[in-house]
Amino acid sequence: MIVGVAAPRRATRQIRVGTVPVGGGAPVSVQSMTTTKTADVDGTLAQIFALAGAGADIVRVTCNEPEAAIGLAEILPRSPVPIVADIHYQYRLALAALEAGVQCLRLNPGNIRKADQVKLVAEEAKARGVPIRIGVNAGSLDPDLYDKYGGPTAEALVASAQRELGYFAEVGFEDVKISVKASSVPLMIEAYRRLAEVTDHPLHLGVTEAGPPPAGLIKSTAGIATLLAEGIGDTIRYSLTADPVEEAKAGRQLLEAMGLRERKTVDLIACPSCGRAEVDVIRVAEEAQAALAGRQLPIQIAVMGCVVNGPGEARGADLGIAAGRGKGHLFVRGQVVRVVPEARMVEALVEEAERLVAEGFEARLAAAEAGAAEEAEATRQALMADQGDDANDVGERIELIRKKFSA
């Protein structure tokens, strides 16, 4: 089940990028961009397949030279996802990409500024039923708008998008999505908020030139998630200085975490560790993450440092493991089902995850090992006795507080 974000999704028109609907209530889609030379057909296709496997619904490729347009003609019939041609400066390359059969164009109003050229591209796209993304970028704003607004302000970015929409309107072209990206998170957020107030076209979200991880991930998430939580945004891209596969993974994980896409991959949670931990939680969590990477297991898995609090604190997880006295206590939705040696914690976790997805919760709970829950409870009680009840069992204090208010 998909759980909605705090604000309802902004109502927009819907366009179709190939087979992928964007806007109009469609699921928020994930995009990324290849880093290969598009003329390198096999290399570009290999990256497109890798991006699709990592969660990208749409992939953008550069079309910066005639050889790239020729490469597109060979790539498109073999691509597993719709392709957007990225166009800068040369409007003729947009026309060539349309001839190649591309499913969407991205035009930058900051470097294709002649109205007649923009309208010609729009006319040709309209004739083929191909949408266009108006890709406004704070780093390449029209010089006249830069001067008019005193820099790349939110107002200037929105004005650039509206000017391009005006050109499109003159030729009756409305199959549009828009982005107003900036490398400044506050500027990006303000620009999209303003844009959402003046148009019902679907919006493509991103913090441009976010940089390498982890800072790039933090900046991108701060901007994209803020807007998604407000109901703004129909398709997203993380613009990282990294392997583009990391962009697709991050985008997919964000949407799953926000309940905007159905979970397809593992959601690994772990306690931050503390002095009560019976195992190196960081190490075990990293090993579990590596072992589970790439597995299509749509469940939440918890790695907890001690059996004292672990199964209870992670009761909401589908599956988890907690350490205690040299053993791992494997639990399904808070119920301990197996006890394994500490050295086998990660191996057992992966095994149980596979079984849980294949067999279901009821079957795995029914298959619980005899005495596992009792052994875990005995270990828990022993650890509490060693560590002191006051740090773990606050029941008596809670009752005393309640009595104060009921007196």
**What's the pLDDT at 380?**
80
Tokens in use for 110? 């900051």
Q: What are phi and psi of 211, to 5 degrees?
A: 95, -175
What stretches in the chain show pLDDT beneath 70? 1-6, 276, 387-398, 407
Cα–Cα distances in angstroms (integers) from residue 65 to residues 58, 70, 89, 99, 105, in the given order = 22, 9, 11, 14, 15
Q: Which residues contact 318 (CB under 8 A, 6 or more apart)?
A: 299, 300, 301, 332, 333, 356, 361
- 51 and 40 Cβ atoms separated by less than 8 Å: no
**What's the pLDDT at 388?**
58
**What's the pLDDT at 391?**
46
Identical fold between 14-257 and 267-391 = no
Give the integer Cα–Cα distance in Å for 131 and 176: 6
**What's the pLDDT at 351?**
95
Output the CATH code of domain 14-257: 3.20.20.20
267-391 to CATH, choices 3.30.413.10, 3.55.50.30, 3.30.70.2190, 3.40.50.1860: 3.30.413.10
In the chain, where the domains are located: 14-257, 267-391
**What's the pLDDT at 383?**
80
Total-model pTM: 0.87
What is the per-residue DSSP string for 247-316? HHHHHHHHHHHTTSS---S-EEEE----TT-SS-HHHHHHHHHHHHTT----SEEEEES-TTTHHHHTTT
**What's the pLDDT at 397?**
67
